[in-house]
Amino acid sequence: MIFGFGRKPVDNDDDDDDDEEEIEYVLFQGATNGVEPDMKGNAKLVQAGLIRTKELVTNAMSRRAEMIRLEPKGQVSVATMYVDGVPFPGAKMPVQAGLAITQMLKLLSGLDIKDRTKPQSGAVKAQLEDTKYEVRVDTAPVATGGERLIVRIQDVKQKFETPDELGWGEAIREKIRALASQKKGIILAVGPPMSGVSCAAFGVLRSIDAYLFNIYSLSKNGKDIAHVAEFQPEPGDSLTQTIGRAIRAEGDVLFLAPCRDADFAKMMVEDSEDACLLSEMTAKDCADAIARFTQMSGDPILCAERLHGLISQKLVRLLCPKCKQAYRPNPKLLQKVGLPPETKVLYRAPKPPEEDDEEFEDYEPCEKCGGVGYFGRTGLVEFIEITPGMKEIIENGADPQKIRDQAKKEKMQSWASDGLRLVAAHKTSLEELQRVFKPV
């Protein structure tokens, strides 16, 4: 079902004719969970919230926003839009209008609009002009009353699951393949919330040659992964029993659900002797993940033996290919940041003219990026391999700073080194790296 009001006429006072400009509104095309929304039974909500919801989501899509955050603050609800990870202020509206939008999106996503006391997650299919989207909806109650709404907008054709789509270099893929070829041990994709951890986990999975290894997915992620069979558990079986059956079925690599607690970590360490286990977990970076996973496993010696590699990515914006500006870098700058001295040219985003500049009146922002100077994002990759030196640190307490120092000593790939690779390749700028690495 498509929920209408696709176009809105807009008066044009400057036109003497009766022609009207039409704004194309997003069309919502049904919840992904198959629940049919009761539009007639919620007619008052539809009247109060549907057009507002369409305006907010359409505006976000038009601005290339990948996320909307709508939160009640006193008597108003404040919207923030995130474009390539950078927040921009959105609309402010009466708190009741924000509530109507939240409830409307819950209804369209097949969620329970009567329950405002617990977090809920869902999604609705949508289309704007010729582009199809999946709009993911997450709500959570806030202490001051009402609900916080997070809307994530994903162009269904733009998936970030393969190493190529994630921008990973060949060296990282070779390391992953080498570790998986051992058919034992643990590989973790890690990172903070909103950093693309699940995408990184799928990137690890897609780096492994499914023609050479038997790969089973034990994670109910709802994704159809080519050449990866979904291994069904037997009724009443524990995860350990399911892993054992998958190994007996000649599984070489097993893709698991995220590691969120000590019991899961202990199970991974104990059951990774005869198959390579892939999972993800929340952590600040790879060193923090090693420390936390070691603590959760409760066995530093066995953890050092079974943990083989960790990958983490940090998203950075890509320079707009249409308006990026070349400049000749100062040799001292090259030496300071660690770029080769023979580097002749780098690129950066153009700066729009100030109001008192002569060019200000004639300035027109770039049609592709809207004058931001960046278009899209890619991942900076950190990879830590558990070498003999790393094993010794893990066995002696897994201090995160010692792990970082050892990784630097062994010249393992870091976010910074990968960022400089992208700068040298003219894909991003030094200014963008400075923004990303700036302490919060």
d(CA 395, CA 156): 44
Paired sense of beta strands 186-191 and 346-348, if any: unpaired
126 plus 41 within the same structural domain? yes
Q: Identify whether 365 is part of a domain.
A: no
The least confident of 5-9, 123-127, 307-311 is 5-9
Domain ends where: 129, 155, 181? Answer: 155
Same-domain status, 307 and 173: yes
pLDDT in tens, 390-422: 999 999 999 999 999 999 999 999 999 999 999
Per-residue pLDDT, 3: 44
Helix or strand or coil: residue 57? helix
Residue 303: both structure tokens together: 């953890």
Query: Could you say which of 107, 138, 155 is where a domain stops?
Result: 155
| Residue 278 maps to a domain | yes
Residue 140 pLDDT class (50, 70, 90 cuts): very high
Residues 150 and 175 in one domain: no
Same structural domain, 122 and 48: yes
Q: Please identify, among 128, 155, 182, the residue that sits at the C-terminal boundary of a domain.
A: 155
pLDDT at 355 > cutoff 80: no
- Give the pLDDT band (50/70/90) at residue 224: low
| Alpha helices for 63-121 (secondary structure H) | 95-108
Q: Domain residues for 83?
A: 7-155
Query: Do 413 and 381 meet the contact criterion of CB atoms below 8 Å apart?
Result: yes
At residue 8, the pLDDT reads 52
User: What tens digit of pLDDT does each residue of 78-113 get?
Assistant: 999 999 989 999 889 999 999 999 999 999 999 999
Q: Are residues 201 and 137 in the same domain?
A: no
- Please give the helix or strand (H or E) that residue 90 lies within, else none: strand 86-94
Residues 121 and 173 in one domain: no
Q: Residue 384's domain is classified under what CATH number?
A: 3.40.50.300
> Could you tell me if residue 334 is inside a domain?
no
For the chain, the straight-line distance linking the first and the last C-alpha, in angstroms and rounded, comes to: 44
- Residue 400: which H helix or E strand, with range? helix 400-409
Which of 366, 280, 277, 383 lies closest to 319, judged by CA? 366
CATH number of 151's domain? 3.30.450.90
**Total Cβ atoms within 10 A of residue 166:** 22
Residue 176 covered by a domain: yes
Residue 352, domain member (yes or no): no
- For the chain, the average pLDDT equals 90
pLDDT band at 362 (very low <50, low <70, confident <90, very high): confident
Answer yes or no: is 322 within a domain: no
**184 with 272, same domain?**
yes
Q: Which of 314, 313, 310 is nearest to 384 (CA)?
A: 310
Residues 148 and 178 in one domain: no
Distance CA 51, CA 65 (A): 19
- Asked whether residue 180 falls in the same domain as residue 271, the answer is yes
Task: Judge if 119 and 247 occupy the same domain.
Answer: no
Residue 167 lies in a domain: yes
Instruction: For residue range 235-287, list pLDDT tens digits in order.
Output: 989 999 999 999 999 999 999 999 999 999 999 999 999 999 999 999 999 99
pLDDT of res. 232: 86
CA–CA gap between residue 175 and residue 286 (Å, rounded): 15
Beta strand pairing status for 346-348 and 27-31? unpaired
Tell me, yes or no, whether 367 lies in a domain. no
Number of domains within the chain? 2
| 262/404 same-domain check | yes
Residue 185 has pLDDT above 80, yes or no: yes
From the number of C-beta atoms within 10 Å of its C-beta (0-12, 13-18, 19+), residue 268 rates as buried
Same domain, 128 and 178: no
Query: What is the DSSP pairing of strand 7-10 with strand 21-24?
Result: antiparallel
Q: What is the 3-state secondary structure (H, E, C) of 178-245?
A: HHHCCCCCEEEEEECCCCCHHHHHHHHHHHCCCCCCCEEECCCCCCCCCCCEECCCCCCCCHHHHHHH
